Amino acid sequence: MISTSARLLRLIALLSSRPSWTSTALAERLEVTDRTVRRDVARLRELGYGVESDPGPWGGYRLGEGGRALPLILDDEESLAVAVALREAARSGILGGDQAVLSALLKLRRLVPASVAARLAAMDTTFEHTDRAGEQPLSTALLAALANAARRGERLRLSYRDLQARESVREVDPHRLVFTGHRWYLVALDVSRGRWRTFRADRVVDARTTGRPTEITDPPDAARLVARMITSDYPVYARIRLDRPVDEARRLVHPTAGTHDEDGPDGTIVTLGGLDPESLAERLLRLGVPFRVLSPDSVRDAVHRRATALAALNLPT
């Protein structure tokens, strides 16, 4: 089942591909019911997209003439880059689950040149995305509120739901928002407990300013804190040395996937977690650069086994 945003993008692409579609034909192409098609058409109209319909059993849907387009001071490649970014945001929910991103995308698509619109339509009709199980919708307004509070240094009263669906209210001093490529996390000081915490943004039920300024001294490295939290539940950890400066090591192993400690000007000690030694060995070999496993022996042995097997497969016959 594709998401509503993805389905609306597919619907726009289909409507753009020929003069008219019956509701039944659209439902078949989108693999939904006629009722869902009617709801999606109504939503497109609410977003300002002109979809016209003809009554009767032989009637259908078609895109109407758009309003007078305002000039867009972007070239074709720039227009495509902005539209693709908005498209991915609409599909992934990176900026929330409400209509803001999708509305902006549909408005932009009415302004871009026909060649750009055709390339976007091709992407919409051929790309597929899978939904992530257990994800909660994230409001763009909530994400903006967290970011603004951190920027302005305002203490928040946070209503938060944990993994066991238990809800609590606490006052926090927000510091940074970290996106891992999968989720947003708020890094904040839990005022009552006096320690730094990470909060999954999609589990924040409500966030209200208290009118008091934050009291932050010696804040942590936000990305590093999130990385430690994400990897804290892994049963196995590997400690390796990369013969790379720390900046390059962070490009190879993202800060949200491991911790990095400088080991001289050209070396970095990286700690990262995994489900078992074999999966960690596979991940390390995919780095594509020399490394040395410092610990544990189980990961070192797994790397040796895999490297030996690969070498054997490539021996001359």
Are residues 201 and 90 both part of a single domain? no
Q: DSSP assignment, residue 164?
A: T
Q: Pick the residue with more confidence: 234 or 34?
A: 34
pTM for the predicted model, two decimal places = 0.49
Range(s) of the domain holding residue 19: 4-126
| pLDDT tens for each residue of 116-153 | 777 766 666 555 554 544 556 667 678 878 988 998 89
Q: With CA atoms as reference, report the closest residue to 169 among 208, 201, 130.
A: 208
Cα–Cα distance, 156 to 210 (Å, whole number):
6
Percent pLDDT > 70 in the chain is 75
Q: In this structure, is residue 131 part of a structural domain?
A: no
| pLDDT tens for each residue of 261-289 | 999 889 999 998 887 899 899 989 989 89
Are residues 115 and 162 both part of a single domain? no
Q: Where are the alpha helices (DSSP H) in the chain?
A: 4-17, 23-30, 34-46, 76-92, 100-109, 114-126, 140-152, 222-230, 246-252, 277-285, 297-313
CATH of the domain at 240: 3.30.70.250
Q: Is the pLDDT of residue 68 over 50?
A: no
CA distances from residue 249 to 179, 244, 268, 274, 282 in whole angstroms, order as listed: 19, 6, 7, 18, 18
The pairs formed by 31-39 with CB atoms below 8 angstroms and a separation of 24 or more are 32/7, 37/11, 37/61
Q: DSSP assignment, residue 67?
A: -
Residue 208: φ, ψ to 5°: -130, 140
| Bridge partners, residue 75, by sequence | none
Peptide bond into 296 cis (omega under 30): yes
Q: In this structure, is residue 275 part of a structural domain?
A: yes
How many structural domains are present in the chain? 3
Q: In this structure, is residue 190 part of a structural domain?
A: yes
Q: In this structure, is residue 133 part of a structural domain?
A: no
Are residues 114 and 144 both part of a single domain? no
| pLDDT tens for each residue of 74-131 | 666 776 677 767 766 666 555 555 556 666 766 676 676 677 777 766 666 555 554 5
Q: In this structure, is residue 178 part of a structural domain?
A: yes
Map tokens 């009415």 to a residue: 110
Are residues 242 and 283 both part of a single domain? yes
CATH of the domain at 117: 1.10.10
CATH of the domain at 208: 2.30.30
Are residues 23 and 65 both part of a single domain? yes
Q: In this structure, is residue 227 part of a structural domain?
A: no
Are residues 205 and 244 both part of a single domain? no
Q: Is the pLDDT of residue 71 over 50?
A: no
